[in-house]
Structure 1
Amino acid sequence: MLDFAFMHRRRHQNVGDLACSPGHYFDFGPSTFLDFSEDMPACKVAVLGGGQVFQDCVTAAVYDTAKARKRVVWGVGISQKDRRSIDFDILSGSCDLISTRNWGIDGCPYVPCASAMSPLFDTPPAPEHEVVLFYHARKSDDLPRDPAIPSRGNDQGTMAEAIAFLASGATVVTNSYHGTYWAMCLGRRVLCLPFSNKFLNFPDNPPITAPEDWRARIKTAETRPEMLTTARSLNRAFHAQVMNMV
């Protein structure tokens, strides 16, 4: 029997979804990784998340993790509306531990995305550009581009390549959740262009603006230098809780 099985979104070219499982960053013993569409083998602990995958977690906890002795939800996007829903009652009744990447959700410990544990954040290089644009591949139809400003989509390449691109800018303008999060973890100035409320659930949200206004609002970008330390501390503490279950 495996010790752990990690389930998250693995079949889409979204660099944040591919990088968000805690199984990439901690030693859990014999483990496997699965997409939410796959069947989970027998294991001591099933870990669901992270990512914006609340409904996927509910479905998986009820239908896809019968062979797991225990279940954990790690750093998943859970809104206040989700928290008040019957689906959350179902999830909490099926899982041994639940945490969310959203700050201030009653009864859900705040644990930011585990991707902050990556050593890619340890010694970022000096910026090469004053501004870079990191955009969501499917949510950017109304996002003006500037040919003078380097840009990259969240559906391109690896996490290492995305981090290198984000680090290359002194200021990061982005409508990607992980672009926002990773830029804050890198200590860069951030201007966020939210397309949903999921961007507004950090403990200290970065400045935001409408997509059409970003070029005029670049100087409002700010750093959040505490993000990396906080994210790592909370993930280490939650990891300890999970390992105490085994």
Structure 2
Amino acid sequence: MKKIISSAKRSIRKKQTIAKILKSEQHNDSVVNIHRIDTRNAGDYYCAPHHYFDVLKGKHLDIFGYKLEDDVKRQNFIDTINSKALIIGGGGLLNRSGFHRQMRLFEKLSEKGKKTVLWGVGHNEKHPHTYDKVKHYNVDVTKFGIAGTRDYKMPGEYVPCVSCLHPIFDDPFDETQDIGIVFHKDTLKKPEILAKFKDYPTSSNTSDFEELIAFIKASNKIVSDSYHVMYWSMLLGKKVVVVPNSSKFFDFQHRPVVSDFDNALNQFSKTETYPGLLEECRTINTKFSVKVFDYLNL
């Protein structure tokens, strides 16, 4: 019963927050970068441009701020959205129920004169029957001021995740293990899967970012069900086999080898590496930043 009451109250807060924003006068004073700020998920945390551009330093907001119980913090979310131009992303914010209301809100604000930018966002449908079949986003990206999406064949300008700009990818490394397994945080709750790989070095996307990248660097090959581990491994020239847990794995520019945990270790003969991918992704993001900052007058 407590969970039902808590869920009902949370739903009311969400609706009230969105209604207040839509009724408010909108301004574009400075900018804020909105994304899922989850320090327990390295991909969610480091996929946002405020980490990589001085003009955006300290200007960030958690996309889940609209449902906070604390009235003061929730009002800060409202005030920040109302007053500032918005950079939304990165991460799998599209076609995902947990972000649907917020993304529709940002779409509507674009129509009210709010300057809005999508930066490296992508679809993230959880039902297996949608994998490799997503053809439409749940918002109209053409209504945003500038739309950069990480899905290569989907609407919007192709902009891979901005985390490629992190300087950690420039540090030299030695490979000390053949195969490394990196689990998504949800998979850590499944002991039957963990047991399959008890004889292999393992990590997870809950690890400290520097430790996680060091683990990837040390590996010649990677198996993972984390999108960003797939991406970072490709940037570092690794052979990668992915075990998809949402649609997000199927629209990267370079198609990974897709498998399941029972068969992943037998799929490396099908994998490719992509020399120059790090530089390519960085160039795209750098050029995109020029367009964005000119649009936002930063």
- Of 245, 249, 252, 1:199 maps to 249
Match of 1:17 among 39, 44, 47: 44
Cα offset, 1:88, TM superposition: 1.9
CA contact (8 A) 2:160 2:285 kept: yes
Q: Using the alignment, how far apart are the partners of 1:76 and 1:165 within structure 2?
A: 26
Q: Which consecutive unaligned segments of at least 5 residues does structure 2 have? A: 1-27, 66-76, 125-131
Q: Structure 1 residues 58 and 217 mapped into 2: Cα distance closer, same or farther (>3 Å)?
A: same
CA contact (8 A) 2:51 2:57 kept: no
The reply on whether 1:156 has 2:204 as its aligned counterpart is no
Which of 50, 53, 74 is the matching residue for 2:119? 74
Structure 2: distance between partners of 1:229 and 1:24: 18
More helix by share: 2
Is 1:137 the counterpart of 2:185 in the alignment? yes
Taking the aligned partners of 1:50 and 1:202, their CA distance within structure 2 comes to 14
**CA 1:197–1:150 in 2, change beyond 3 Å: closer, same or farther?**
same
| Residue 197 to residue 66, structure 1, CA distance change in 2 (3 Å) | closer
SS in 2 for 1:205: coil
Superposition map of 1:1-246 within 5 A: 3-11=30-38, 13-28=40-55, 31-38=58-65, 39=77, 41=80, 44-54=84-94, 56=99, 57-61=102-106, 69-78=114-123, 84=136, 87-89=138-140, 92-93=142-143, 95-106=144-155, 108-139=156-187, 141=190, 143=193, 145-157=196-208, 159-245=209-295, 246=297
1:13-43 alpha-carbon deviations (Å, 9 max, x no partner): 2110011101101222564211012315265
Please, what is the CA RMSD of the aligned residues? 2.8
Larger Rg: 1 or 2? 2
What is the CA distance between 1:178 and its match in structure 2? 0.4
Pairs aligned (count): 241
Matched with 2:74 is: none
Aligned partners of 2:257 and 2:267 also within 8 Å: no
Unaligned runs of 5+ in 1: none
TM-score by length of 1: 0.86
The letter of the residue matching 1:21 is A
